[in-house]
Structure 1
Amino acid sequence: MTTSQTPAAVLGQAGGLVKALHTTFVVLVLASAVRYLTGHGFGDQAPWMLAGAVALLATYAAGPVLRGWVWLALLVLVWFGLVLLAPSFAWCAVPLSFVALRVLAFWPACAVVAGMVATVVVQWTRMADRLDPTMVLGPVCIAVLAVGAYRALERYAAARQVLLDDLHAAQGDLADAQHQAGALAERARLSRELHDSVAQGLSSINLLLQAAESEWTDRPAAAREHAAQAAATARDGLDEVRRVVRDLAPAELTSSGQPALPGALRQTGARLAAASGVDIRVQVHGTPVSLGAEVDTALLRTARGALANVLEHSAATTAVVTLTYQPDAVFLDVRDDGRGLGPGPTDPDRGRGLAGMRDRLSHLGGTLVLESEPGEGTALAASIPLAGAPS
């Protein structure tokens, strides 16, 4: 325990107690002076008593300037002279005990309090001309209670400070954990967005360039058309990367007016069909409604991911994309007539594609179901509940 930290920290934070201490000290000094004048009048010692009382109050008021043990020593010295002159000033020992506990470490403060108690007992006994047990035990009990109360307050404040420090540390750890969780979530989002946009665009470019290479000699016009489509796809991919960085919807969904998702699906199907030669059909059932940029983006990128898997893994000749609007939900189905999925390591679910789709849909309360049998094609069904609809 240090002189300048623990005691000051205890009572320094209890503003009401400190004000009560100041008030009590002033009241006791004034009351002791009035008692002396009432009992003894303005005799020869009255001016000395009044000068001592004024000096005691002035020394107490100089606490913010003097501070520390020097201030306490001056207070005790002036008080000691007043007690020798007028024993009624002994009551000022109570607030002075708290001053000592505020200024000094605990055990030195206890020594000062004990000295003041001994002074009070001696002076009261001399004033009564006999040994009165109440005059001995009264000051002792008051001192013990004062020191005990201060000690309890000190320990409570120390325990409270420990709890506050632990709380601040826990808040810091929580902030770090939230920051790390946010960083991981952002990394997962970027991984999902890049897979569903950039990777699929590169896959389309690869298919178009392969088609152009195979037709470069025999069908140069078709090869040039494939190369032009590859260039257009590259430009769209560049725009898509910029939009992913800005967390915007795909370019096909930025049109205003009618719901853009059906047209974006048809545009995606036409581009992939031209690049791969697979017959990709897009069907829309129900009345198209505006679903919001986040839902439209999730469904479009789910369709792109599913079609990318069809072109890469299924060896299908036909794929059908069905978008169904219902009052309580919107459904997206992608079916192909390819070779289906086997249980081996070629299962696309082992990669990031389907996992990213599931993450994106689950964030919106949706689901993703994949059904496939070897030799009988694959069916992927995605659904998202609409806002305001029952779960």
Structure 2
Amino acid sequence: MAAQSATHGIHGILAPAARLDRWLQVVLVVLVATGAVRYVDRHGLGVTGVLVLLGAAVLALAYATRTLLPGRSWWPTAWVAGMVAIWTALTLVAPSFAWCAVPVAFAVLRVLPFGWAAATTVLMTLVVAGAWWRVVEAPDPTLVAGPVGIALVTVIAYRTLERESRARQRLLDDLTEAQAELAEEQRRSGALAERTRLSRDIHDSVGQGLSSINLLLQAAEQSWTREPATARDHVRTAAATARDGLDEVRRVVRDLAPAELTGDSSGTALPAALRRAAAQAAPGLDVEVRVHGTPVPLRPEVAAALVSTARGALANVREHAGAARVAVTLTYHDDEVLLDIRDDGRGFQPGQPPSGPLRGRGLRGIRERAEQLGGRADVESAMGEGTTVSVRFPLEVAR
């Protein structure tokens, strides 16, 4: 609205008050008519009376002319200057028209900037004081000081209201813009988090399963002739891993935890799932699964995160550690559940993990998964001393 007013050359304090026009017109007509009737009643219809009536009619009709040239930037200023000039002449001839200063002053506030509006209003109050000074018996300084003071206070008050209104509007605009930006950022963050989750889940479940199947089938091919029984065991394990991988694909797509973890009411499904993950990790790798404490049912997403963490850590051991033995330890404390994967491999320098894609993505995925579920992941390693991956979650028993 302020921008629209600016295009028509209106910059005044009350420029946004579109409905004020009609009320100014009504009040002005009433005051002009009252002043004209009083003048004719007191002084009769002479030449001066006719001029006063003509001036009163022009003043009453002048307000309606402001909209005749809306495209001219100079027109509102010329219009309000004409209004003030006509009112001034009427007031100096007939002080009864001094009351018309109220709607005329509001018209000034509607159009002129603050500085010009304040100066014009003060001059109008001086005209009012001078007109009434002529009709009183003795000079009264309050006729000057009072109207001027009221005019200045009124203009300053409207100026303050205008600034507060604009400040509130700016705050509302900023708030609206910030809310829109926040919604967009949340949408982008949600999409990024979902992509990260899918990447992590696919890496630690489907990807590790396919890698295990490949290793099992290679081992079966090498022992097919010399140790057919061992080869058949490898093939059966690969088939079971493929079935589990199919379930994992369905889980990732549906964003659900494995069915056996979702419906676990005894707490025994998680240790069993960890043992399956250890058996599928790699042929020839000695993986021992230990459980300390009394198993309790966990939230499905926490249980699934622990299984995925074990798979990812075991995949890192298989690809990078050169380890002979791995210990997977699940510990139930009173206030948390802790999973440790400890290998006796070559280890690495803390802060400088191996640069292979599996190691980097796996460790990062383990940390991100734990943090998203309110847990914490730690990695301890030293050159030649193996690596320990620890993940802990607050113990919130599933209901």
- The answer for the alignment partner of 2:347 in structure 1 is 341
- The answer for the alignment partner of 1:263 in structure 2 is 272
CA–CA distance in 2 between the matches of 1:270 and 1:132?
A: 108
- The answer for the alignment partner of 1:299 in structure 2 is 306
Task: State the SS of the aligned residue for 1:281.
Answer: strand
CA–CA distance in 2 between the matches of 1:367 and 1:110?
A: 67
- Deviates most, 367-376 or 324-333: 367-376
CA–CA distance in 2 between the matches of 1:223 and 1:63?
A: 102
CA–CA distance in 2 between the matches of 1:9 and 1:107?
A: 10
Residue 296 of structure 1, CA deviation:
0.6
C-alpha contact 1:212 1:224 (8 A) present in aligned 2: yes
Paired residue type of 2:314: L
- The answer for the alignment partner of 2:104 in structure 1 is 96
- The answer for the alignment partner of 2:331 in structure 1 is 324
Task: State the SS of the aligned residue for 1:356.
Answer: helix
CA–CA distance in 1 between the matches of 2:382 and 2:123?
A: 96
Residue 97 of structure 1, CA deviation:
0.7
Aligned residue among 186, 203, 206 for 1:195: 203
Identity of aligned residues (%): 51
- The answer for the alignment partner of 2:391 in structure 1 is 382
Residue 139 of structure 1, CA deviation:
4.6
| 1:4 and 2:10 are equivalent in the alignment | no
Sort the Cα spacing of 1:322 and 1:147 in 2 relative to 1 into closer, same or farther, 3 A: closer
- The answer for the alignment partner of 1:281 in structure 2 is 288
Residue 257 of structure 1, CA deviation:
4.0
Task: State the SS of the aligned residue for 1:4.
Answer: helix
Residue 181 of structure 1, CA deviation:
4.2
Sort the Cα spacing of 1:314 and 1:112 in 2 relative to 1 into closer, same or farther, 3 A: closer
C-alpha contact 1:7 1:154 (8 A) present in aligned 2: no
- Deviates most, 78-87 or 355-364: 78-87
Sort the Cα spacing of 1:290 and 1:65 in 2 relative to 1 into closer, same or farther, 3 A: farther
Residue 98 of structure 1, CA deviation:
1.9
CA–CA distance in 2 between the matches of 1:64 and 1:196?
A: 75
C-alpha contact 1:193 1:244 (8 A) present in aligned 2: yes
Residue 292 of structure 1, CA deviation:
0.4
Aligned residue among 355, 369, 376 for 1:367: 376
Residue 221 of structure 1, CA deviation:
6.6
CA–CA distance in 2 between the matches of 1:63 and 1:256?
A: 83
CA–CA distance in 2 between the matches of 1:95 and 1:265?
A: 86
Residue 207 of structure 1, CA deviation:
0.9
Instruction: Map Cα deviations across residues 140-183 of structure 1 (whole Å, 9 max, x no partner).
Output: 55444444444444445445555555555555554555445444
Sort the Cα spacing of 1:144 and 1:222 in 2 relative to 1 into closer, same or farther, 3 A: same
Sort the Cα spacing of 1:306 and 1:145 in 2 relative to 1 into closer, same or farther, 3 A: closer
Task: State the SS of the aligned residue for 1:276.
Answer: coil
Sort the Cα spacing of 1:131 and 1:90 in 2 relative to 1 into closer, same or farther, 3 A: same
Kindly report which structure 2 residues correspond to 1:166-181, keeping only aligned pairs within 5 A, or say none: 166-181=174-189
Sort the Cα spacing of 1:350 and 1:264 in 2 relative to 1 into closer, same or farther, 3 A: closer
Task: State the SS of the aligned residue for 2:345.
Answer: coil
CA–CA distance in 2 between the matches of 1:291 and 1:127?
A: 96
C-alpha contact 1:29 1:53 (8 A) present in aligned 2: no
CA–CA distance in 2 between the matches of 1:143 and 1:351?
A: 75
Residue 341 of structure 1, CA deviation:
1.3
Instruction: Map Cα deviations across residues 349-378 of structure 1 (whole Å, 9 max, x no partner).
Output: 962222322232233443334455666654
C-alpha contact 1:97 1:113 (8 A) present in aligned 2: yes
Sort the Cα spacing of 1:253 and 1:103 in 2 relative to 1 into closer, same or farther, 3 A: same
Count of residues in correspondence between the two structures: 379
CA–CA distance in 1 between the matches of 2:101 and 2:288?
A: 98
Unaligned runs of at least 5 residues, structure 2: none
Residue 233 of structure 1, CA deviation:
3.0
CA–CA distance in 2 between the matches of 1:257 and 1:386?
A: 15
Paired residue type of 1:361: A
Sort the Cα spacing of 1:326 and 1:145 in 2 relative to 1 into closer, same or farther, 3 A: closer
| 1:237 and 2:237 are equivalent in the alignment | no
Instruction: Map Cα deviations across residues 212-253 of structure 1 (whole Å, 9 max, x no partner).
Output: 332344456754664454355345334423422433213542
Sort the Cα spacing of 1:202 and 1:105 in 2 relative to 1 into closer, same or farther, 3 A: same
What is the aligned-residue RMSD (CA, Å)? 5.0
Residue 283 of structure 1, CA deviation:
3.1
CA–CA distance in 1 between the matches of 2:186 and 2:93?
A: 68
CA–CA distance in 2 between the matches of 1:109 and 1:2?
A: 19
Instruction: Map Cα deviations across residues 41-83 of structure 1 (whole Å, 9 max, x no partner).
Output: 69957x99999999988987x7999899498689769866874
CA–CA distance in 1 between the matches of 2:260 and 2:12?
A: 65
User: TM-score scaled by structure 2?
Assistant: 0.69
Task: State the SS of the aligned residue for 2:5.
Answer: coil
Paired residue type of 1:339: G
Kindly report which structure 2 residues correspond to 1:56-205, keeping only aligned pairs within 5 A, or say none: 69=76, 83=91, 86-105=94-113, 113=121, 116-117=124-125, 120=128, 123-128=131-136, 134-135=142-143, 139-205=147-213
User: TM-score scaled by structure 1?
Assistant: 0.71
- The answer for the alignment partner of 1:358 in structure 2 is 367
- The answer for the alignment partner of 2:297 in structure 1 is 290
Task: State the SS of the aligned residue for 2:390.
Answer: strand
Sort the Cα spacing of 1:83 and 1:10 in 2 relative to 1 into closer, same or farther, 3 A: closer
